[in-house]
Structure 1
């Protein structure tokens, strides 16, 4: 994993185009009446960079064998007495099922706990998204709730299962636990 960069444009666009049919069921969409989602990669990177400077987002590129393979973003970072955030991600179907995303999520969680100083990370997953459910299963995250009509995905408000992990649960890091 590394920070998402403007220079990822061609690789990001290529991955999104190749995987459009695979990802459409899981992609966030703008609800009616809300500002439109970024229409270009440059706009997306610019918005993510602004949010990163404000301390509310950490956008990462996921690479496999030196090739761009997906994106992982720590969103909605809350400070104060909460110290938590959410994680969202997508992966190129060509590398799915090889343990890439569990490793990337573990690395991101460890970064949030050990460097950023967060206490809790949450993952929201649509109940029918078996691939993402497998990610949290491999990581040993606990289901903490069910949120009806939680996020606007694929053109409608969708239910999500909620998973979370706290810093105390992984004193030696989530990546270390995954590798054991």
Structure 2
């Protein structure tokens, strides 16, 4: 069953349904941020595949109509800033989803990403009724690691060679929240400074297991 995709705002940050008419803006941002985004992009282990922005948006919308995803465009102060997608949505006894996102380099450091993630998470927990949300992040992706620390996503473990990214199978750190951990929501808890200390911290043993010597980003 399809779930409505709302428009949600906090300050200058907005998340809204992604639309076909976003294709030109999306293509421009992807091209202008190629160097910024390439190292985090999922790739096909069987070889390069052509990528069409309009087809990608249609696929996200079809997945949403089937009830398996919630694709958002991220805006900052009225400008297209990136994408956020709740994917792999399941209901019933699991009631979970995975959150993925990217923002253009010029919006980094403005609080756009944690705000967008918090807005989407609160909608998923309190309106859609999901029980668990997961974010998986490469150890080298320091900006995304700061997002889960800010929002208090709990570290759950190392997933070895988990996703094919930028031409190879990459380790990921897994973080999650469940509905029982929240009362006022992800956004309010963060803005009110009530995120539990130590949330999102990866233990040294998993850093050692995931990174080659000399590549620790922290």
TM-score higher than 0.5: yes
User: Is there any run of 5+ residues in structure 2 with no aligned partner, and where?
Assistant: 1-14, 193-218
| Contact kept in structure 1, 2:23 and 2:57, CA below 8 Å | no
* Map of 1:21 onto structure 2: 35
Task: Give the aligned partner of residue 128 of structure 1.
Answer: 140
- The match for 1:30 is 44
Give, in whole Å, the separation in 2 of the partners of 1:178 and 1:113.
Answer: 16
RMSD after superposition: 1.2
Matched residue of 1:145: which SS? strand
Question: Gapped runs of 5+ residues in structure 1?
Answer: none
What SS does the aligned partner of 1:90 have?
strand
Number of residue pairs matched by the alignment: 178
In the other structure, the counterpart of 2:52 is 40
Paired position in structure 1 for 2:187: 175
Residue 106 of structure 2 aligns with which residue? 94
Moved over 6 A (4+): none
Deviations 1:29-56 (A, max 9, x none): 12217xx766111100111111101111
Q: Could you tell me how far apart the structure 2 residues matched to 1:40 and 1:28 are?
A: 15
Distance 1:66 1:30 in 2: 33
The corresponding residue for 1:81 is 93
Normalising by structure 1, we get a TM-score of 0.96
Computing the radius of gyration over CA atoms, which structure comes out larger, 1 or 2?
2
Q: 1:134-173, aligned counterparts within 5 Å? A: 134-173=146-185
Higher RCO (Cα < 8 Å, 6 or more apart): 1
SS at match of 2:40: coil
- Conserved? CA contact 1:38–1:44, under 8 Å: no
1:2 is matched with which residue?
16
Question: Structure 1 pair 86/38, CA: closer, same or farther in 2 (3 Å)?
Answer: farther
Residue aligned with 1:25, SS: helix
- Return the TM-score normalized by structure 2: 0.79
2:84–2:99: 8 Å Cα contact kept in structure 1?
A: yes
1:10, 1:67 → 2: CA distance?
Answer: 13
CA contact (8 A) 1:103 1:178 kept: no
